[in-house]
Amino acid sequence: AQKITQTQPGMFVQEKEAVTLDCTYDTSDPSYGLFWYKQPSSGEMIFLIYQGSYDQQNATEGRYSLNFQKARKSANLVISASQLGDSAMYFCAMREGQFGSGTYKYIFGTGTRLKVLA
């Protein structure tokens, strides 16, 4: 079974609109972390936002927010007021397991390619 699932291989959004990129995860570990990364066409992996499994509030970083629904095991990324520079591949990732226990893993989804239209 996939640990991280990103069901949207590609998305389009109009400039200045908001867009939601979906991510669902699967873990039985009570302590885990969820991350989103951006990979523009230049290739680098840029960290965007983090959500801990025990965090009570949804994480926000500027125009990025993470819609964390623990019971549904979803961690969708919301980008508000899209800009042309947001066109990129977006990866959802999960860290599960306690470091040192042998179960520590850091798993990436397959990504969603976002294209922002002028």
Partner 1 sequence: DAGVIQSPRHEVTEMGQEVTLRCKPISGHNSLFWYRQTMMRGLELLIYFNNNVPIDDSGMPEDRFSAKMPNASFSTLKIQPSEPRDSAVYFCASTFLGARGRTDTQYFGPGTRLTVL
Q: Does 106 bind partner 1 (CB under 8 A)?
A: yes
Q: Is 86 helix (H, G, I), strand (E, B) or coil?
A: helix
Say how many C-beta atoms besides its own lie within 10 A of residue 2's C-beta.
11
Q: Is 58 exposed, middle or buried (0-12, 13-18, 19+ CB in 10 A)?
A: middle
Residue from 45, 81, 84, 117 binding partner 1 (CB under 8 A)? 45
Stretch that binds partner 1, among 8-16, 18-26, 68-76, 94-102 (CB under 8 A): 94-102
Which residues contact partner 1 (rule: CB under 8 A)? 33, 35, 37, 43-47, 50, 52, 91, 95, 99-100, 104, 106, 108, 110-111
